[in-house]
Structure 1
Amino acid sequence: MNLVDTAPRTATSPTAALPVATASGIEAWHVESPVVPLIALAFTFEGGAAQDPEGKAGVAQMLARLLDEGAGELSSDAFQERLAARAIEMSFHAGPDSIGGSLKMLVKHADEAIDLLALALAKPRFDADAIERVRAQTIAGLRYQQNDPGVMASRRFFKEAFAGHPYGRPSSGTVESVSAITRDDLVAMHRALIGRGGIKVAAVGAIDGARLADALDRAFGRLDLAAPLKAVPQTAIQDLGRRIVVDIDVPQSVLRFGMGGVPWRDPDFIPAYVLNHVLGGGSFTSRLFQEVREKRGLAYSVGTSLVSHRACSMTWGYTATKNERVGEALTVIAEEIGRLISEGPSDEELQKAKDYLTGSYALGFDTSTKIAHQLVQIAFEGLGMDYIARRNNLVANVTQADIRRAAARTFADGKMLVVAAGRPTDF
């Protein structure tokens, strides 16, 4: 039985997060809840795949996959057996700007779980057999993805949108780059990223502040300060207005399209977020869903989202349609963007978007794990511990003037970079 997913959450409120500071200088956000005897921990370090060495894309992701493949005196098998014996869930992940992880454990196994996390972070083994196993798995996945139109469209989009920039490289690497990664590369990346200086931590569950501070010192306090990160220059989508075909012999083309955006840390992010909901982020209620799918039957799914990285932000969209209807689908998408630029949403659309976004926000906090991850993301973005309490008011107060300003910043003149993976006949 998964306690964290089934227990009532009434005793846990993410808006009641409190700061915890440890003797070694680790700072965390803490939500104490005695509802179930479980603790969820989430953490993130500054720096991710954008720090990969030139020609060796995939190092950060490979590092994340190897952190729990043996540590200290424990081989990979021994480490995993210790986790399984206590039902401890430990995972790591890497994105463009960060590497992080999570830990979930029963209170009675918390000490052992924290000790294993400390080993994984401070003393990963990087054994040759583990490296080669993870390398082989990664390469097999990359080769399989070469036949996936969605993956190929996304990869080509980022390659063209951010040509010459770290964001233009595939985070998971290529067959060639992953083949070239050495143990020394992994050790250097570990030294650069895994340090206590830039860590953000959140903990939710049946643990008080004093015990949490002690646990955090044991988990992270022995880490060195990370080495200085490489500067990642600010960038934006290149070649707006360009259309690119990735030739794949399939009856349906997968489309990826993008234009400007607003970073999460920007005051205009919330208006842009509401605007995006109206355009393509609102699932069944969005303009694109109604116009592209419901009225014309051009696609099964279509949508947009805001992407916010440290050095770039954008509006990112997706759909898939028959090769012979690609041009029609793109025309409809462009027309709806144009209407929002010139007319904006109706007052009714705006109010419905705000009602949905405020009413559904709590759904992202229905488990301890979700709360911990949300808090860490908010801390990583520097939005402040009171963001959760402020966020719905920010959404509710968005005006038509705010929407017009956000549209000017994100949509500009409506030009998009578009990549189609397939064989479109009217592109």
Structure 2
Amino acid sequence: MAETVKEIEIKDTKVPVVFETGNFVPIISMQLVFTNAGHLSNSKDGLASIASKLLNEGTRKDGSVGFAQKLDAHAIELGAHVGRESFVVEVSALKSEFPYAIELLKALLQDPNYTKEALDQVKRQKIGWLKQKESDFDYIAGSKLREILFKGSPLARPYDGTLKSVASISLEDVQNFIATHLGYNNLIGVVGGDISFDEAQNYLTEVLQLLPKVETSPVKKIKASDQKETLLINEDTQQAYIYFGAPFDYSYEEKDQYKAKIAEYLLGGAGFGSRLMEEIRVKRGLTYGAYCALRRTKPVSYLSGYLQTKLSTQDEAKALVQKVVDDFVSKGITADELQAAKEFLVGSEPLRTETLSQRLHRAYNEFYYGRPLGFSKAQLKKIEAVTLEEMNTFIKVHPELTELSFSIVTKK
């Protein structure tokens, strides 16, 4: 059965449910996706991440070990994770074990392990992870790039927190975050597997009745900087870590997303075959890999990319990135490049939809971004039909892509 989006009524709200049934394997997966509840919702840096990790510490009644033993005994996977915009609680199990999995999910939501011991454990793990990141030069360069591109916005702040901010997070902070961000009225259900929609509706109703109603607000728009800044971060490194970004004045709501997909693929998303890889690695041997993407989300649209090179070729590589993007925008692409992009993007489509989770994830994205189900497939037909002139017109009306800022971890 193809993916569908239906609604169920919970109290005063119609909750959307992305659904697909399939009995090839007797497994059921359910995700509770809470929108506007991710990293960008942090009142303290790292709070959303700490909250999600605390939900992975089981219930107060059973403790983390006791709850984990219950999951393991029935081969149930149950956990939470967080992204920029959303907070996700996911449960999956064999069909025969799913009713018990739902009981454990309900127990977790009603009685999280709100204890000092559990919070201290989570904070110790996060602090240890942050200390490791102090010598992760990719992490440092990427974080500093966001600070440059998104000054003064939540995107510029450290998602996972700092040593100081994580240490300051209290049990009350976590309880308040969960109570004010995990509600039935900011939720999208995603359910798939060996299950009927009526069964899915019954399970979801059981769970969502336990959740509060929370305040919601529209996503705030953020614009990437066009100031062409360069930040050098001096570390004891043997090579340069070059991260770069620029604004991309193009909304996720535009109907011709396929043009951005082709442009992204040819500029830096294709690996070998992209302009960045061809010019920087293949022709000059300055790096093992150079990549970039055109990111289009609800809050922001921008270009971001990265590469590593020797300290002695840092300036050359940086200048070359700028030249590649400048030439891409001013001159456009060739007929051969367009044909290669069409063949890959259309030919690799089956690999992107071969599993239930892939199909549900795509259907969720289409719904979340306000697109009709089947939007991605329709875009493939447009990829096949787009002309070279149309693509080059699209690329050339985005000169803002050349307004590159750089964050470089290097050594004096």
TM-score tier, shorter chain, comes to over 0.9
Inter-partner Cα distance in structure 2 for 1:372 and 1:237: 30
How does the TM-score come out when normalised to structure 2? 0.93
1:422 is matched with which residue? 410
2:241 is matched with which residue? 254
SS at match of 2:400: coil
18-27 or 35-44: bigger deviation: 18-27
1:312 aligns with 2:300: yes
Please, which of 11, 17, 22 is the counterpart of residue 8 of structure 2? 22
Given that 1:263 and 1:269 are in contact with CA atoms closer than 8 Å, whether structure 2 keeps it comes out as no
SS at match of 1:334: helix
SS at match of 2:164: helix
258-267 or 408-417: bigger deviation: 408-417
**What residue identity is the alignment partner of 2:46?**
G
Question: CA offsets, 1:30-56, max 9 Å, x none?
Answer: 111111111122332112111111xx2
**What residue identity is the alignment partner of 1:90?**
L
Question: CA offsets, 1:322-367, max 9 Å, x none?
Answer: 0110111122222221222122111221121122112222312222
**What residue identity is the alignment partner of 1:259?**
A
Inter-partner Cα distance in structure 1 for 2:402 and 2:111: 50
Given that 1:315 and 1:410 are in contact with CA atoms closer than 8 Å, whether structure 2 keeps it comes out as no
- Change beyond 3 A, Cα 1:297–1:317: same
Name the Cα RMSD after superposition. Answer: 2.0
Inter-partner Cα distance in structure 2 for 1:131 and 1:409: 50
Inter-partner Cα distance in structure 2 for 1:129 and 1:409: 56
SS at match of 1:372: helix
Aligned-pair distance for 1:371?
2.6
1:288 is matched with which residue? 276
- In structure 2, runs of 5+ residues without a counterpart are none
Inter-partner Cα distance in structure 1 for 2:111 and 2:136: 37
**What residue identity is the alignment partner of 2:18?**
W
Given that 2:5 and 2:17 are in contact with CA atoms closer than 8 Å, whether structure 1 keeps it comes out as yes
Equivalent positions of 1:22-101 (< 5 A) are: 22-24=8-10, 25-47=14-36, 48-53=38-43, 56-71=44-59, 73-101=61-89
- Change beyond 3 A, Cα 1:373–1:102: farther
Equivalent positions of 1:23-422 (< 5 A) are: 23-24=9-10, 25-47=14-36, 48-53=38-43, 56-71=44-59, 73-229=61-217, 233-238=220-225, 240-261=227-248, 262-408=250-396, 410-412=398-400, 414-422=402-410
Inter-partner Cα distance in structure 2 for 1:114 and 1:177: 34
How does the TM-score come out when normalised to structure 1? 0.90
Aligned-pair distance for 1:114?
1.7
**What residue identity is the alignment partner of 1:166?**
P
Given that 1:260 and 1:411 are in contact with CA atoms closer than 8 Å, whether structure 2 keeps it comes out as no
- Change beyond 3 A, Cα 1:386–1:268: closer
Given that 1:258 and 1:315 are in contact with CA atoms closer than 8 Å, whether structure 2 keeps it comes out as yes
SS at match of 1:117: helix
Percent identity, please.
24
- Change beyond 3 A, Cα 1:285–1:169: same
Given that 1:97 and 1:309 are in contact with CA atoms closer than 8 Å, whether structure 2 keeps it comes out as no
Q: Matched residue pairs, number? A: 407
Inter-partner Cα distance in structure 2 for 1:323 and 1:141: 27
